[in-house]
Each structure stands twice: as C-alpha cells, then as structure tokens.
Amino acid sequence: MSFFQDEELVLLTGKDGAEVIYKEAFLSDLEHNNYFERINSEVDWGERITGSMFGKEYIMPRDTAWYGEPETSYVYSGIINEPLPWTQTLLELKQRVEEFSECEFNSLLINRYEIGKDKVGWHADDEPELGPNPIIASVSLGGTRDFQLRPKDKNKKTITIPLIGGSLLLMRPPTQRFWEHQIPPRSQIDSPRLNLTFRLTNKKESFL
C-alpha cells in the first residue's frame, strides 16, 4: 500500500502558478473494477482514427472517444471530435470528479491503452476550445501506466509518477500554459488502461 494512498499528493507547484494534485485512492477497489468493466464495454471504440502531425498522417496509438454536451466539439492532431451523448455511467463518474475538484465539466476525452506500446506523446491540453486557463481532471482505470510532466522551457527535470487504477490526477490552471505531459510506451505492460480526462470546453457559438 502506498504511504499516500489516502492523501492528496501535490506533485507540482511552482512560481508559474502551476499545480498538479494526485489522489491515489479516489475510487475504492470495488468502484474501480465496476467502472472499468462498465465503461470499457459501453464505449463504442470503433476503428483507430488517423491523425496528422507536422503534415504527416499516422494511426493514433490508442483508442479514443469524445463525450459531452451538444456543441462541445474538440479538435486536436487534425481530428474533429463531435461529442457523443453522456451515458449514465459517465455522468455518475463526472459528478464524483466535480465534487472532488470543485469544478464543473461539460466534456470528456477517453483514451484506451490496450498494451504497453500504446502511448500519447508530449503535449499540453491547451487547444482554443478549452479557453486560456483549462483545468483537467484525469481518472485512471485498469492497469498502471507512467505519467510524465516536464516544463515547456525544459529548465527542470521530468517528473514521473505511476498512475494506478482508481486514481485521479488534477491539473489546475495555468499548468497547461507552462507544462506538457505524456504517457510513454512500456513494452513490458500487457494490461489495458482507460484514461478519462474531464474538461470544460467552450461551445461552438462561444469561440467561432
């Protein structure tokens, strides 16, 4: 058992105002297993989608799904995501996350990493749809994967923490402005992981 299982661990706080909080035991073991099975089976993952980076197309190295209120479209890596309607399971979990974070969310990106080679590279969640100071609440379900943070100006060492199933990672503003993060590949891992990142997305009429 981790020594901070029942604590809120502040991973990052600095002069730039960035703050990242980790709650390891956000969900009980029973809740975690229940949410993993329900969400993994309820989501229509479909085919892996094609994105673009530096003018080149590639197959996304993970499965993705976008949920939210109407008009909360989201664009990243050249992919336009139109929101699927909330399921009851996702609404239940959203309420739990909102109570913990004291923030309301209207959209959700779900990533599924089926095996260790599935990954997401260095990036910040700083798309225009999220506004100038986004708050991101990330729930992990399933297998443990390393989460890494580094400053955009590269003047500090990379922070690595294993995100276990049932944990919540909260990135408060202005973290996305000054820091970026990734889930690196890990060849020895063969257990699937779901990552649910709750967001507050500007609706189309607000930013077009």
Tokens linked to 122: 């260095």
Q: How far is CA 112 from CA 14, 32, 120, 195, 202, in A?
A: 31, 15, 11, 6, 24
Choose between 167 and 9: higher pLDDT: 167
pLDDT higher than threshold 70 for residue 195: yes
How much is the average pLDDT of 40-66? 78
Quick: pLDDT tens for 86-135: 999 999 999 999 999 999 999 999 999 999 999 999 999 999 999 999 99
How much is the average pLDDT of 3-13? 62
Confidence band (pLDDT; 50, 70, 90) for 207?
Answer: very low
pLDDT higher than threshold 90 for residue 85: yes
Which superfamily, per CATH, for 10-201?
Alpha-ketoglutarate-dependent dioxygenase AlkB-like (2.60.120.590)
Phi and psi for 179 in degrees, rounded to 5?
-130, 155
Q: Are 8 and 117 in contact (CB under 8 A)?
A: no
Q: How far is CA 27 from CA 30, 60, 128, in A?
A: 8, 29, 31
pLDDT higher than threshold 90 for residue 56: no
Distance separating alpha carbons of residues 66 and 43, to the nearest angstrom = 10
